[in-house]
Structure formats: C-alpha cells, structure tokens
Structure 1
Amino acid sequence: MTDASAPDDRPAESPHTAALRKAVRFGVLALAVLAVVSAIVWALVDGLPGLWGALMGAGIGGAFVLTTAIVVIATARSAPQTTAAVVLGTWLLKLLVAMGVVAGLAQFDFYSHTSFGVTIIAALVVVLAGETWAVLKTRTPYVEPTVP
C-alpha cells in the first residue's frame, strides 16, 4: 500500500514539465547543430586540433547547461525545497567538474585552445537560447487537470 500524498520518485509527466522536456529536446538539437558547424569551421581553420577543440567544447558547454533542466525534470515530483537543494548541489558539482576538466585539459596540446574556448562559450549561449525559446513557445495550462 502506498501513500498517495508522498512524493513520487519518477519524473513528472505533466503539462508543467512539458516546457522543460521540450527545452531539453531543443537544447540538444541546438547543441548538435552547433557541434557540427563549429567542428567544420574549426577543422578548416586549425585542422585536427580545431576539430578536437570544437567537439570537446560543445560537449562540455552543452552538458553544463542541459544538466540543470534534466535535474529539474527528475525532481519535479519532489518538494520545492528538495528540488532547490538538488539544483544547487548539481550546479556546484557541475562547476567543480567543469573547472577540473578544463584545468586538466590545459596541459595538453592535441586540441586548439582557441576553438575549445570559443565553442564552450557558444555552446552555453546557443543551448540556453534554445531552451529559453522552447519554454517561451510551450503552451501549458495554469491548472493541472485532476484525474478521477
């Protein structure tokens, strides 16, 4: 027997998370387009090191932004305080991991540092813009319908 008032551990499938699910899809799509375009441009500019820098920059920058929306969806059925604590904790963890990865990669020269930096910044902007656009264009009801 389960308590109906207890928070559910499954991700919420409601109209209120529809915008976030759409934001993740658009963010991934925007990241894929950026990764392809950036990889082509930087490969032409810097050769193989440019390609590596663009691909790694797109992966790190995109993962940094997309993780937040995914965590919010995963904790949508939790108490607001729980969601806030998890989002803050994952943000701090993302920041430490990103700083560690960038610091660890700084010693290597198999990739273009310029393409890496420019693509990380572009990924942050493009993915965030895609997510924002998706949230703004999603129509959701103000009140969730009740199921009998």
Structure 2
Amino acid sequence: MSTSPASPSTPDSADAPLRAALRYGLIGLVVLTVLAAAIATALAGAAGLWGALLGAAIGGGFILTTAVVVLLGAKLPPSTAGLIMLVSWVGKLLVALIVVAVLQRFEFYDRVALFLTVVGALVIVLGAETYGVLRQKVPYVAVPEQGGQEDSDQG
C-alpha cells in the first residue's frame, strides 16, 4: 500500500488544482511584469515603465482575484460560493472602471504600454492558471452502477 502526503479525502488535495493555478498565475504575472517593464522602458522611457506596471497590476489583479475568491469559496456551500463569486466579479469590474477613469486624467504613463500589458496579463495569467490546473493529478472514483448487479441476481 502506498501513501501520499495528501490523500484524496484531505482538504489539501481537494484544492490543490486551485492552489497550483494561483501559483502558476503569479509566476506568469511576475515574468510578464519584468518583461513588459523592460520593453516598455526601452521604448517609452519612464512613462512606459509606469504603463507596464499599472497594466500588470490592473490585468493581473483582476484575474488573480478570481483565483483567490474561488480558492476561498471552495469549501462553502454552492449557493454561498456563487454569491461571493458574483459580488467579487461586480466589485472587480467597478474597481477596474474607477481606476481607468481616474488614470484618464493623468499623463505620467504610456497608454500603449498600459493597454498591451493589461491584455498580456489577461492572456498569460489565464493561460498559466489553466496550465496549473491541468498539470495536477486529481484522483477520481468511478462507482459502478447498481443496475448491473441486480440483473445478474435475477438471471
């Protein structure tokens, strides 16, 4: 009999895919932030740096918040988890709109760097989270149907 650090019934194994998604998403965001900041600074100077940093914060924060909310809501009843997801999505959307509206008034950042980094963060962090979930080996159990057993008794 082999033992593993986290058996299928432990809470650690149940949310392992969610934790892996968060971990890979954070790694993807850090890599994107470093690359975007370097490229944007080379092309647009300090304004490019600010655009890349703001874009990574907006895009990455938006997506990673979803992963955190799902991870925290995984142990709650489905209706409560659904309500929390809905409220968090509306809250994130409002925060993103307010941040963008406030940033419209300022000129210290490069808008192209901001836009490209937000789009890059959305694509890369979602891809990294998907990769993290798919790499996890989650055990499942197939329960045989009861109908097959009754048929053999009646024959």
Q: TM-score, normalised by structure 2?
A: 0.82
Q: Residue 132 of structure 1 corresponds to which residue in structure 2?
A: 130
| Structure 1, unaligned runs of 5 or more | 1-11, 144-148
Among 65, 68, 90, the alignment partner of 2:66 is: 68
Residue 84 (str. 1) matches residue 92 (str. 2): no
1:13 Cα deviation from its structure 2 partner: 3.4
Runs of 5+ unmatched residues, structure 2 = 1-9, 142-155
- Give 1 or 2 for the bigger CA radius of gyration: 2
**1:3 matched residue in structure 2:** none
Matched, 1:115 2:113: yes
The amino acid that maps onto 2:128 is G
User: Number of aligned pairs?
Assistant: 132
Q: Give the Cα–Cα distance (whole angstroms) in 2 for the partners of residues 56 and 31 of structure 1.
A: 12
Calculate the TM-score normalised by the size of structure 1.
0.86
Residues of 1 paired with 2:11 and 2:89: CA distance?
24
TM-superposition CA deviations, 1:45-100 (whole Å, max 9, x none): 00000000001100110010011111111111110111111011100100010011
The runs of 4+ residues in structure 1 deviating greater than 2 Å are: none
> Contact 1:15 / 1:141 at 8 angstroms: preserved in 2?
no
Q: Which amino acid aligns with 2:107?
A: D
Question: Which residue pairs with 1:8 in the alignment?
Answer: none
| RMSD over aligned Cα atoms | 1.1
Mapped to 2, the partners of 1:90 and 1:26 lie a distance apart of 21
CA offset at residue 14 of structure 1?
2.9
Percent sequence identity over aligned pairs:
45
Aligned partner of 1:118: which letter? L
CA distance in 2 between counterparts of 1:24 and 1:113 reads: 28
Which position in structure 1 is the counterpart of 2:56? 58
